[in-house]
Amino acid sequence: MQVVICGLTIPIVLRSEKALKNDLGLFDSEKEQIELLRRMDIKIRRKTLIHECFHAFLFITGYNELLQDISPNAEEAMTRAFEQAFNDLFVFDDDVERWIRGDI
């Protein structure tokens, strides 16, 4: 599966708990891919994907660099705020929504 953020196609890769070191997900800026925990509740998977998409957006636009100048925790704080505020408004295309539900 993949998402398109600012015109850049970002693959989504499913990983084990061991590979993610007990995180639910991450955006790997070197590989330019989102990695998500293989097994998780649909609602948590969607929320985590939104969270990681926002990290990807900050990286692609360079805003992550500006946030590092403010505080080492600024990017995570902004990402969590975005995730909470826009979770219900965030729209993925139909294929991604079906993938989140486990239909494909």
Q: What's the CATH code of the domain at 44?
A: 1.10.10
Are the CB atoms for 17 and 37 separated by under 8 Å? Answer: yes
What's the number of domains the chain is made of?
Answer: 1
pTM: 0.91
Domain that holds residue 62: 2-101
Q: Where do we find the tokens 């486990």?
A: 102
E-assigned strand segments in the chain: 2-5, 8-15, 25-28, 33-37
Tens-digit pLDDT string for the chain (104 aa): 999 999 999 999 999 999 999 899 999 999 999 999 999 999 999 999 999 999 999 999 999 999 999 999 999 999 999 988 988 888 899 999 999 988 88
